[in-house]
Amino acid sequence: MARFVDVRTMVEWAASRGPEDILVGLIAYLEEDFRDWPGFDKTPRVASHTSFGVIELMPTSTSETYAFKYVNGHPSNPARGYQTVTAFGMLADVHNGYPTFLAEMTLLTAFRTAATSAMAAKLLARPDSRTMAMIGCGSQAEFQALAFRAAGGVTGFRVWDTDPAAMAKLERNLAPYGITVVQAASAADCVAGADIITTCTADKAYATILTAGLVGPGVHVNAIGGDCPGKTELDPAILTKADVFVEFPPQTRIEGEIQQMPDDFPVTELWQVLTGEAPGRTSPEQITVFDSVGFAVEDYSALRFVRDAVEGTEFGEEIDLIAAPADPKDLFGLIAAAVPARA
């Protein structure tokens, strides 16, 4: 039997524990796994692209535990009443290959993406960063705001979205957490004076959400939305004048903002900043960019975190996913045992 956390259970667990506490706990798991980065079996995700969107499988493994996530990305989904991104994932025991834990990951991916952004900002943003501009107020926005406040000490939020209802939704959702957001009049208005700029829009296009003139010295850019081939948000000129940090270069060069740059465009791997093998921010004037596309190790961390958190609680149920005949060579016997005796 494997433990399964469905959507309702994930929602109830998240509400019960509180999203900020989850984000803080998840950042600790992410930091632990990023420090162990060389210990993971890593491969770029396997994507199936259609004109509607993309469906991806994201596997990774340590010598003990295998993880994968199924995730889609369909930018036209919200207009049709569906989530842009839905996901679920699984952990398995490497020793025998048996699944041990399954969970919905639509909600969990939102948590892990925000926690990863906040982990990166702790390393890359100026320590005195207090204000964040958020361009794009979709599903990911609340999670980003809570993660940056909880982990990064950000207290001021200026937001912009071409959809006023999305801005209003973000303001409404964050108010109960004591966060007051300022609705900007444009992207330029939004980023003015911000210490950190988060771009998180959904269009599948080479878009320029942020031009180079809007990014001043000392800013950290948390670039979330450019996460598949043909989908970017940043003016390439920003990348040229910044230091760019990535998760897993073979994947980011295909999917991230740096798909706009030459193959040898210099980047630093985030895990090396965590372990001290590479510098993060080196001066207050430096512009840093976290070119986030989401990597399988982060899903591993998220699944591991929830698995540990719900163990021994009422959250989750056992599901019957592994056929286990008493004689392992007698798989057919399972059917025979269920068939009425023949004459």
Only segment of 80-88, 189-197, 231-239, 243-251 that touches a second copy (CB under 8 A): 80-88
Angle between helices 296-310 and 106-124 (to 10 degrees): 110
Q: How far is the CB of 319 from a second copy (least distance, A)?
A: 6
DSSP conformation class of 340: P
Q: Min. distance of Cβ 107 from a second copy in angstroms?
A: 5
Contact residue for a second copy among 34, 66, 101, 315 (CB under 8 A) = 66
* Annotation marks residue 264 as catalytic: no
For residues 175 and 199, the answer to whether their CB atoms sit within 8 Å is no
Half-sphere exposure of 54 (CA within 13 A, CB side): 17
**Identified binder of a second copy from the candidate list 94, 188, 192, 207, rule CB under 8 A:** 94
Q: Which is nearer to a second copy, 119 or 166 (CB)?
A: 166
Q: β-strand 54-61 against 65-73: which pairing, if any?
A: antiparallel
41, 285, 308, 314: which one contacts a second copy (CB under 8 A)?
41
Nearer to a second copy, 143 or 245 (CB): 143
Smallest distance, a second copy to C-beta of residue 238, A? 26
CB nearer to a second copy: pick between 63 and 313: 63
Single out the residue of 48, 180, 275, 313 in contact with a second copy (rule: CB under 8 A). Answer: 48
Among 7, 28, 188, 212, binds a second copy (CB under 8 A): 7
Strands lying side by side in the sheet with 220-223: 181-183, 156-160, 131-135, 196-199, 220-223, 288-291, 243-246, 268-269
Can residue 97 be called a binding residue for a second copy (CB under 8 A)? yes
Q: Is 72 in the site for a second copy (CB under 8 A)?
A: yes
Quick check: 104 binds a second copy (CB under 8 A)?
yes
Residues 219-278 that bind a second copy (CB under 8 A): none
* Dist CA 309 CA 207 (whole Å): 39
Per CB under 8 A, which of residues 269..328 are in contact with a second copy?
319-325, 327-328
246: β partners? 269
The distance of closest approach from Cβ of residue 152 to a second copy in the complex, given in angstroms and rounded to an integer, is 19
Beta carbons of 220 and 193 less than 8 angstroms apart: no
Q: Computed over its alpha carbons, how large is the radius of gyration of the chain? A: 21
Specify the DSSP class assigned to residue 89: E
Does the footprint of a second copy cover residue 75 (CB under 8 A)? no
Least Cβ distance, residue 99 to a second copy (angstroms): 7
20 touching a second copy, by CB under 8 A: no
Q: Does 70 bind a second copy (CB under 8 A)?
A: yes
Buried b (16+ CB within 10 A) or exposed e, 52-86: ebbbbebbbbbeebbbbbebbbbbebeeeeeebbb
Please give the residues from 164 up to 203 whose contact with a second copy meets the rule CB under 8 A.
165-166, 169, 173, 176-177
Q: How many CB atoms lie within 10 A of CB 172?
A: 11
Name the active-site residue from 33, 161, 195, 227.
Answer: 227
DSSP state of 342: P
Active site residues: 227
